[in-house]
């Protein structure tokens, strides 16, 4: 009980609510957080329902998705909540993590009481995922300003329009190179097949490729912040660059090679510009790798091999050892476990699981043949693992070198 006689909640010795005025403090938190312009809400933590009850007062008929963080929450809520019927309202939905997709994260306001973050602790499998969202929320105004600044500067540059590449590579073969740790194991295979495959790599995979004298035919970038600059700095890469309209404008300005801007669906300025100029929009999926797959499908490649698309890690490195994105992990027990192509369990994160489900949906809805080369990477439904022998057999079946290189030389 709190000092005022109301029920309160303690998890892992941390007070989820105030020890003095649980309900009124929860109400005040929601009132301060509430974004009236949001299309819906994702509320993290159910507890005794104090935050949900206040959110229902402000949200009207807008959808509220509630993500419990502890197994016993629903039982506790049912026993101690003042009104345990509010979770049955038509605009309220209780979900598990695997039901949250990138569309929800993009369009809904995510509300995370900081006390829940403290209570679940860093060992909780959702901690990294929630911390990432919380950090993005705390810097939202800056990020929003930065994305708009990047967009307005990028659209006036000397860009190649994406329509030049639309359906240009039908029946051709491509590789999408990401920076997962398996890239260190499969890069030798890539060296042997690169002359017959279009090589598109994400920025974080550029340096691992260049370290093996593999120059990709194109790279794709999406990060709005200055952090992306280290992916290209100190390299002499000058090939074709595809980039989202909100990508860091300083990097785009300094880049000397040919540039093609991609207008993303779901970003208002981008959608408006595309409509005014009769241009195509791209599904972004939440990561630069998902952007890369959308691009290759747009270009109508018939077969796509994924390299370094692990969405998890077996040992201590989250990415290729040569990638600037790599982090050496010392505490592994805070990560979720997921089945790998090898049949063993590897570490993954909640955000990577969201990307995995995006890949699964895209593969299911597509007539493109997509294969994953990451033996120790996450098993992705609808995207089968392909062995080296199968890759080499595919390579041998391509009678002539793809003509994509001559097509790229024609780009002005």
CATH number for the domain harbouring residue 98:
3.40.50
pLDDT for residue 119: 82
Q: Which of 12-21, 167-176, 235-244 has the lowest mean pLDDT?
A: 12-21
Q: Which of 6-10, 20-24, 202-206, 408-412 has the lowest mean pLDDT?
A: 408-412
Structural domain of 31? 10-124
Same domain, 195 and 226: yes
Split into its structural domains, the chain has a count of 2
| H helix runs in 49-175, sequence order | 50-59, 73-80, 102-107, 114-120, 127-138, 140-154
CATH for 218: 3.90.1480
Task: With respect to residue 187, please indicate whether it lies within any of the assigned structural domains.
Answer: yes
pLDDT for residue 122: 73
Q: Which of 116-120, 300-304, 324-328, 329-333 has the lowest mean pLDDT?
A: 329-333
Q: How confident is the model at residue 182 (pLDDT cuts 50, 70, 90)?
A: very high
CA angle at residue 177 from 130 to 340, to 5 degrees? Answer: 60
Q: How confident is the model at residue 63 (pLDDT cuts 50, 70, 90)?
A: very high
Task: With respect to residue 85, please indicate whether it lies within any of the assigned structural domains.
Answer: yes
Same domain, 103 and 151: no
pLDDT for residue 352: 83
Whether the CB-CB separation of 223 and 203 falls below 8 Å is answered with: yes
Task: With respect to residue 65, please indicate whether it lies within any of the assigned structural domains.
Answer: yes
CB-based contacts of 6-12 (< 8 A; 24+ apart in sequence): 7/48, 7/80, 8/48, 9/47, 9/48, 9/76, 11/70, 11/119, 11/120, 12/119, 12/120, 12/121
Task: With respect to residue 132, please indicate whether it lies within any of the assigned structural domains.
Answer: no
Task: With respect to residue 268, please indicate whether it lies within any of the assigned structural domains.
Answer: yes
Mean pLDDT over residues 182-191, rounded?
94
Q: What is the pLDDT of residues 346-403, one digit of tens each?
A: 988 877 887 888 899 899 988 999 999 999 999 999 999 999 999 999 999 886 655 6
More confident site: 408 or 338: 338
Task: With respect to residue 5, please indicate whether it lies within any of the assigned structural domains.
Answer: no
pLDDT for residue 359: 93
* pLDDT at residue 332 greater than cutoff 60: no
Same domain, 249 and 192: yes
Mean pLDDT over residues 277-285, rounded?
91
Same domain, 283 and 348: yes
Same domain, 207 and 355: yes
pLDDT for residue 84: 84
pLDDT for residue 267: 84
Q: Write down which residue in 124, 155, 177 finishes a domain.
A: 124
**Phi, psi dihedral angles at 31 (to 5 degrees):** -60, -40
Same domain, 82 and 220: no
Same domain, 58 and 159: no
Same domain, 267 and 354: yes
SS3 annotation, 238-259 = CCEEEEECCCCHHHHHHCCCCE
Task: With respect to residue 176, please indicate whether it lies within any of the assigned structural domains.
Answer: yes
Q: What average pLDDT does the chain have? A: 86
Same domain, 74 and 185: no
Q: What is the pLDDT of residues 45-60, one digit of tens each?
A: 888 899 999 999 999 8
Task: With respect to residue 406, please indicate whether it lies within any of the assigned structural domains.
Answer: no
Same domain, 118 and 155: no
């Amino acid at each position: 009980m709190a000092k005022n006689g109301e029920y309160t909640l303690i998890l892992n010795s941390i007070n989820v609510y105030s020890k003095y005025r649980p309900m009124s403090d929860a109400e005040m938190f929601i009132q301060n957080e509430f974004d009236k312009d949001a299309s819906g809400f994702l509320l993290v933590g159910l507890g005794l329902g104090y935050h949900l009850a206040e959110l229902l007062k402000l949200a009207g008929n807008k959808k509220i998705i509630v993500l419990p963080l502890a197994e016993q929450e629903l039982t506790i809520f049912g026993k101690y909540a003042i009104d345990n019927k509010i979770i049955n309202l038509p605009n309220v939905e209780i979900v598990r993590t695997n039901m949250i997709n990138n569309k929800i994260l993009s369009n809904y306001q995510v509300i995370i009481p900081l006390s829940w973050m403290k209570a679940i602790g860093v060992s909780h499998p959702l901690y990294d995922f929630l911390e990432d969202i919380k950090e993005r929320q705390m810097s939202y105004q800056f990020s929003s300003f930065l994305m708009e600044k990047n967009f307005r500067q990028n659209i006036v540059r000397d860009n190649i329009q994406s329509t030049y590449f639309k359906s240009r590579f039908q029946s051709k073969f491509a590789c999408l190179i990401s920076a997962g740790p398996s890239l260190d194991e499969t890069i030798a295979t890539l060296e042997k097949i690169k002359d017959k495959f279009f090589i598109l790599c994400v920025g974080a995979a550029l340096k691992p490729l260049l370290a093996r004298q593999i120059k990709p035919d194109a790279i794709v970038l999406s990060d709005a912040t200055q952090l992306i600059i280290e992916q290209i700095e100190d390299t002499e890469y000058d090939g074709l660059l595809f980039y989202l309209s909100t990508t860091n404008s300083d990097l785009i300005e300094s880049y000397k090679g040919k540039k093609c801007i991609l207008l993303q669906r779901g970003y208002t300025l981008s959608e408006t510009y595309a409509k005014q100029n009769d241009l195509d929009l791209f599904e972004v999926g939440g990561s630069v790798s998902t952007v890369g797959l959308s691009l290759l499908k747009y270009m109508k490649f018939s077969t796509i091999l994924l390299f370094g698309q692990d969405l998890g890690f077996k040992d201590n490195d989250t990415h290729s050892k040569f990638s600037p994105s790599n982090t050496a992990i010392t505490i592994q027990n805070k990560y979720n476990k997921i089945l790998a192509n090898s049949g063993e369990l590897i570490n993954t994160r909640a955000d990577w699981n969201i990307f995995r489900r995006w890949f699964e949906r895209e593969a299911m809805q597509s007539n493109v043949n997509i294969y994953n080369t990451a033996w120790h990477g996450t098993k992705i439904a609808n995207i089968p693992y392909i062995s080296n022998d199968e890759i080499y057999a595919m390579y041998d079946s391509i009678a002539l070198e793809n003509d994509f290189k001559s097509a790229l030389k024609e780009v002005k």
